[in-house]
Structure 1
Amino acid sequence: MSRADRLFDLHAVLRDGEMHTAADLARRLGVAQRTIYRDMEALAASGVPVVGTRGTGYRLARLIALPPLLLTEAEAEALNLGVLIVAETTDPELHAAATALAEKLDAALPEDAPAPAWLTAHHARASAARGFSHIPVLRSAIRSRQKLRLDLPGETEVVRPLALENWARHWVLTAWSETSGQFTRIRADLIDTATALPELFVDEAGKRLEDAAF
């Protein structure tokens, strides 16, 4: 039996959801236990959700397959925020699951429109979960017209948050920077910390969203 056939058979056996020891699998397939260990590592590396370790046995994790969904931008944002809430839990399993789900959502966001040049200027790609974590603060500050202090890699800016948009898998804040005296666009995943300041702002000519000319 070729290794490819054996891996296929192993996957078929594990699909029953039960725990199978390496010894049982070895007898069933007529190979040594060491071969089963290597095969399990190969299955896991290929993306098969194998759960278990040597000495305890192996099974497949139960996965939930969702049919294709069509979401509005508001629905996608609500889903992202829900993931964020779970990610804030102290339960390590739920936190890890929420972080993994955030990465899957990030990868699933449409890329049919090319990202504008200003968005791809930063070659470093930060964590999607970190980007999601700032969204509640950014949204609240936009609604309440509250200034923000943003700690970015190598710099800190005080801004008037004006709008939050999704571009090519990234959440982007459009703001008037009190620090630089000009409009700026900042990717949420590149923000280290976002702190709402007690100071509010009002519309001023030249500093409003409609005045931004990117």
Structure 2
Amino acid sequence: MRRTDRLFELIQILRDGRLHRGKDLAERLEISLRTLYRDMDTLIASGIPVEGERGLGYMMTAPITLPPLNLTLTELEALHLGLAVVTKAADPELQRAAKTLSDKVDAVLPEDRAAPATGWGFAVYPFAEAARGFVHMAPLRAAIRSRRKVDITYAAPDEPETRRRVRPLQMEYWGRVWTLTSWCELRNDFRVFRVDRIRTLDVSFETFEEEPGKTLGDYLAQMD
């Protein structure tokens, strides 16, 4: 498993707000305890709201959002798409401007969420990697609003691509990386997909109604 994938998996595990021992996390990810400690140091240095220390355990202390800016998901999408484009530009001045804009976003976070010099979440995932998923953002938003099922081809780490039909429920932002929370009809369970790992996406004409056990509320209750 690539390091960026491990970091994403760690965030998914820690988002339940519970205390997790380093040993248990390392066994779950099938890595050494030393590697786990390095990964946790990276998450903490990147501004992810995680507290803990070696020998005791780790836990996430706050949801990963940008509440003081009052940005909508669409506005966040536009912001990061723009930064992704600018950081690939040949003009060094524009590249510096993208960096200072990232710093300004960090500066307006609440005091207990202030990012270190490495930037809030920006040290974890490169823009080029996250930008691959932007093409799917608009159709996913539309499918969530209209409650239409979508067919995706998904490339999970170290696994062959799978074709799935899912009920899209919610998109979330994790510091450059966007995820889709959904009900997966292939697995008959909730699944969270990294949007940048969706290779193809087709919005079907089939709609879905809320069913007990398959709603966003059920998923959030399960996480609690």
The normalised TM-score by structure 2 is 0.46
Q: Between the two structures, name the one with larger relative contact order (CA 8 Å, sep ≥ 6).
A: 2
